[in-house]
Amino acid sequence: MKHIILAEDQPSGRLIVSFALKEAGFRVTAAENGAEALEKISEAIEAGEPFDLLVTDVDMPEMNGVELIDELAAADVAIPKIVMTAIGTKHLVVELMRRGVTEYIDKPFDPPELVQMARDALAKDEERRRREEEKDLAAAEERADLMSRVDSYKISFDKLKREVESAKGAYDNLVSVDKENLPIFFEYRLQSLADLGGDFIDVRRTSKGADFLIADVAGHDMGASFHAVLIKTLFEENCKLENDGVAFFAKLNQTLLENGKNERMVTGQFVRFDVEAKKVEVVSAGHPYPIMLAPGSADPEFVKAKGDVLGVYEDPEFEATVADFPVGARLLFLTDGLTDVYAIDGETGDKKRLTEEMLNDFIRRYAGESLDGLIENVWREVLRYCNFKYKDDMTLVGVESA
């Protein structure tokens, strides 16, 4: 009998879902929140009787569903998951996809629908396990033959090592930006989680001013670097043609899908600076909002540019947001790794995430500095807060109207 762990804070919801699953022949253990579910999952693993499926709500006290999924991933606990949510926004779907969760159901739902989803999820998991066992068996059969090739593999490894080192150098060059000869003031800081990261920035002079691109490719490997090269190539071509940001993201999305749907999700912002009209046009693809500082102002305001992520949808939507960008105005851009950093509370051991308001406080504190001083000091405050214990690539960019 398959054993399901159910995390749901509403008593009536727990009762209804538990009853439906038990009636369908499942064994069910219920928890009132993510923290209790995590404890029960740990106890089951220690007892040698791990759960077969997690069904969890999102909005729960103490630890919500997304935090529970993150904790399981951090503990390397592999278990199929179904997420129940009454707030099934596009942002939440993207966050779940980032975590490898593809099974979710919107509340309210019919219990039989959830039961069937549970059966399908367990069937998929059994098929995955079967394929893994077949792969393990094939690997064992090949191991003896592989051992005889150790010497030749050592030679190949040395060659591969040189190629990886070359790739690291190429990536460093890829994310380096030439700030000279631009009609705008430009400063940035970038820290990769690994030697080959997924954050990418570039800025190019155009006939009316400059085009700027910031992008975040999922992953921290050579595959991510390949996609960064692809993005750079398309951006260079777009700058020559002077197509707008909507056309650029549509082309990039098509190219990503042709290279494998959902293989690499990308977020980004395309920004066009018109230095003559003192205007800026922002086109977003699921990326964190840029932050505007008016001339002489220390009050950050979000430029709410919205759009779909890239590499997921066949027909994504993008909107162009136009704003005034007079002399002395500043725009700050960041990747989500910057606001995902956290500090560890010395007394409780709890993780305290850097919030948007805390980031805005840093910006207010140093708004009177030069652009380079602003970016350097905000960057230093972020690194000081997380004590260098970041979990993603981090990028901070500042642009000032000249």
User: Cα separation of 196 and 192, whole Å?
Assistant: 7
Instruction: With respect to residue 26, please indicate whether it lies within any of the assigned structural domains.
Output: yes
Same domain for 337 and 263: yes
Whole-model pTM: value is 0.56
How much is the pLDDT for 160?
46
Which residue segment(s) compose the domain that 299 sits in? 176-401
The Cα–Cα gap between 266 and 253 comes to 9
Q: How far is CA 373 from CA 176, 246, 387, in A?
A: 19, 33, 20
Query: Does the residue 124 lie in any domain?
Result: yes
pLDDT at 193: 66
CB 222 within 8 A of CB 164: yes
* Rounded-to-integer distance, Cα 268 and Cα 348, Å: 36
Polymer length in residues for the chain: 402
Instruction: Verify that 257 and 336 share a domain, yes or no.
Output: yes
Please give the torsion angle defined by the CA atoms of residues 302, 304, 308 and 311, in that order, rounded to the nearest 10 degrees. -40
| Domain end point (choices 89, 111, 128) | 128
- Residue 48 is predicted with a pLDDT of 93
| pLDDT computed for residue 218 by the predictor | 80
CA 190/CA 192 separation, integer angstroms: 7
Same domain, 75 and 200: no
Quick one: DSSP state of residue 99? T
We report the CATH number of the domain holding residue 380 as: 3.60.40.10
Which DSSP string do the residues of 344-376 spell out, in sequence order? E-TTT--EEEPPHHHHHHHHHHHTTS-HHHHHH
Is the residue at 165 inside a domain? no
* Pair 123, 180 in one domain: no
Residue 191 lies in a domain: yes
Query: Do both 188 and 334 map to the same domain?
Result: yes
CB 231 within 8 A of CB 352: no
Distance, in Å, from the CA atom of 163 to the CA atom of 183, rounded to the nearest integer, reads 37
Query: Are the C-beta atoms of residues 205 and 240 closer than 8 Å to each other?
Result: no
If you ran DSSP here, which 8-state letter would residue 280 be given?
Answer: E
Asked if 9 and 91 sit in the same domain, the reply is: yes
Examine residue 161 and state whether it is found in any structural domain, yes or no: no
136 domain residue, yes or no: no
Q: How far apart are the first and last CA of the chain?
A: 69
The domain that holds 77 is classified in CATH as 3.40.50.2300
How many Cβ atoms are within 10 Å of 33's Cβ, its own excluded?
A: 20
In sequence order, the 6+-apart residues with CB closer than 8 A to the CB of 249 are 268, 270, 283, 285, 307, 310, 316, 318
97 falls within a domain: yes
Based on the fold, state whether residues 123 and 212 are members of the same structural domain: no
Strands 81-85 and 330-334: unpaired
Q: Quickly list DSSP for 294-343.
A: -TT----EE----BPPBSS-SS--B-EEEEE--TT-EEEEE-TTTTT-EE
CA 199 to chain centre: 10
What's the rounded Cα separation, in Å, for the pair 59 and 290? 27
DSSP character for 286? Answer: B
292 plus 383 within the same structural domain = yes
Identity (one letter) of the amino acid at 14? R
The whole-number pLDDT of residue 89 equals 72
In a domain, 340, yes or no: yes
What are the pLDDT tens digits along the chain (402 aa)? Answer: 999 999 999 999 999 999 999 999 999 999 999 999 999 999 999 999 999 999 999 999 999 999 999 999 999 998 999 999 877 677 888 888 888 888 889 888 999 999 999 999 999 989 988 988 888 888 777 776 656 555 555 555 455 455 545 555 555 555 567 778 899 999 999 887 655 557 889 999 999 999 999 999 886 565 666 777 788 889 999 988 999 999 999 999 998 888 754 467 899 999 999 999 999 999 999 999 999 999 999 999 999 999 999 998 999 999 999 999 999 999 999 998 888 888 877 777 788 888 889 999 999 999 999 999 999 999 999 988 886 555 668 899 999 998
Asked if residue 261 and residue 363 are part of one domain, the reply reads yes
Q: ∠ CA(223), CA(306), CA(367), 5° rounding?
A: 90
Structural tokens at position 4: 């399901």
Which of 128, 163, 188 corresponds to the end of one domain? Answer: 128
Alpha-carbon Rg for the chain in angstroms: 24
The reply to whether 97 and 201 lie within a common domain is no
Same domain, 58 and 206: no
Token readout for 238 is 């777009």
Amino acid at 251: K
Choose one of 97, 128, 159: the last residue of a domain: 128
**How many domains does the chain divide into?**
2
**C-alpha dist (Å) from residue 64 to 6, 34, 67, 313, 384:** 13, 5, 5, 27, 27
Q: Are 52 and 122 in contact (CB under 8 A)?
A: yes
Q: Indicate whether 224 and 353 sit together in one domain.
A: yes
